[in-house]
Structure 1
Amino acid sequence: MKILFVLTSHDELGNTGNKTGFWIEEFANPYYKLLDKNVDITVATPKGGKAPIDPSSDTEDTQTEDTVRFKKDDAAQKVINNTEVLSKMNPKDFDAVFYPGGHGPLWDLSKDEDSIKLIETFNKAKKPIGFVCHAPAALKNVKAENGEPLVKDKKVTGFTNTEEEAVQLTEVVPFLVEDMLKENGGIYSKAGDWEEYAIVDGNLITGQNPASSGMVAQKLFEMLK
């Protein structure tokens, strides 16, 4: 079983002067959940090389069993510091694709042509495509085979407007995930803020927030079994 993880290359949090990137927990939990089931994982980013970590996901109060394991795991550190270049990835080599979140994807993966084409190819092949938290941003410009937005008439979730308000970045981000999914015709639903929530519609799996990353990975794995 081979799964491609796609992370952001973007590390600037708008015009704030602060850094962003991918959210450690949203990578680490699914990574180990799948790795421990002997899944072969490849990690790619638009630019290749070192994937930027969102500093907000590396504070004491965001630590979990998986993030602690990740920090002590030399092999995983090597993977994150030497990601593959997304444009060189062939969807035929993988059984599924998974996008961890963090605010970075709002800026790069939402409009990255290689990412868009990759998701469209996976979808056409009916292979599982999973996204968590801010990662559904990568679906913004993805089309279904009929030319409509991929999420149109599909049950989806993603980081909520109220969660974005809670982290005080509503005015910083280029768009709100919840609004974008609704504008693209998605049938959006959510649980309470910060609660675990993931939803499946066909081969599309979306999770609401960092707490939902493991659930998305589990559903992805079950779809492949």
Structure 2
Amino acid sequence: MKNILVVVTNISKYPNQDRATGLWLGEAVHFVDEVEKEGYNVDYVSPNGGFTPIDPHSLEADQMTELDWQYYSNPDFLNKLSATLSADEVNPKDYDAIYYTGGHGVMWDFPDDEKLQSIASNIHENGGIVSAVCHGSVGLLNIKNAAGNYLIADKKVAGFANTEEIALGLDKAVPFLTEDELVNRGANYVKGDDWAAFAVADDRVVSGQNPASGGAVAKKVIQLLKSAK
């Protein structure tokens, strides 16, 4: 059985305003559902370990699918989110892929987490897959390869688009724009239509654009895992 590490945030509130944040539920659910259906085992990790908050905005009726409700009503799934591993408890050799979920909270705890960066780098160096969706792509920003270069440099990478952030009215609330920082790291930023599912794979780096893209990322990750047999 192949193992996949799903990364979630510990941040429950915007540091600069009274607005709740956390994991965008669907970005975990639609990825996890695809990979578990294929028989892959999933573990959850967060920068601090323990509880990950769910962004209440992701639980609004217009955001939730039937699949989201199934997972949100599943105590086993919710218990896993309340007791995530810490990076110190993770051995990269145990995992064939890592997946960074989104939600605005990740903007404050993913980019500078050196332990998670090391885990992701080791998974990639071992022939595994590094993947992300939406704001989770900020987790890719500072991962370096064995040569000390940014992993995403010169690779096609997707992440939450500037136009999508502006449409939400949150472009001034975040510390930086995901699209801009991906470009600043030398990535070849690519996107589809705003809010439509879009994912891209480039040299075992798989990334998706927005909350609709978790399943699309999963399918590309599965395809790569199967081709590596």
1:103 match = 104
C-alpha contact (below 8 Å) 2:157/2:189 kept by paired residues: yes
2:31 match = 30
Deviation per CA, 1:58-113, whole angstroms, max 9, x where unpaired? Answer: 11110012211111112111111111112210011111111111111111011011
Matches within 5 A, 1:70-85: 70-85=71-86
Deviation per CA, 1:168-200, whole angstroms, max 9, x where unpaired? Answer: 110110111100011111011111110111000
C-alpha contact (below 8 Å) 1:50/1:82 kept by paired residues: yes
2:57 match = 56
Identical residues among aligned pairs (%):
36
Determine if the alignment matches structure 1 residue 170 to structure 2 residue 168.
no
SS at match of 1:200: strand
Determine if the alignment matches structure 1 residue 137 to structure 2 residue 174.
no
Determine if the alignment matches structure 1 residue 146 to structure 2 residue 136.
no
Distance in 2 separating the partners of 1:219 and 1:155:
14
SS at match of 1:62: coil
Distance in 1 separating the partners of 2:88 and 2:173:
28
AA at the equivalent of 2:178: V
- Aligned residue pairs total 225
SS at match of 2:223: helix
Distance in 1 separating the partners of 2:76 and 2:59:
19
C-alpha contact (below 8 Å) 1:134/1:209 kept by paired residues: yes
Runs of 4+ residues deviating >3 angstroms: none
AA at the equivalent of 1:54: D
Distance in 2 separating the partners of 1:14 and 1:140:
21
1:39 match = 40
Segments of 5+ residues of structure 1 without an aligned counterpart are none
TM-score with structure 1 setting the length = 0.97
Segments of 5+ residues of structure 2 without an aligned counterpart are none
AA at the equivalent of 1:90: N
C-alpha contact (below 8 Å) 2:93/2:126 kept by paired residues: no
SS at match of 2:102: coil
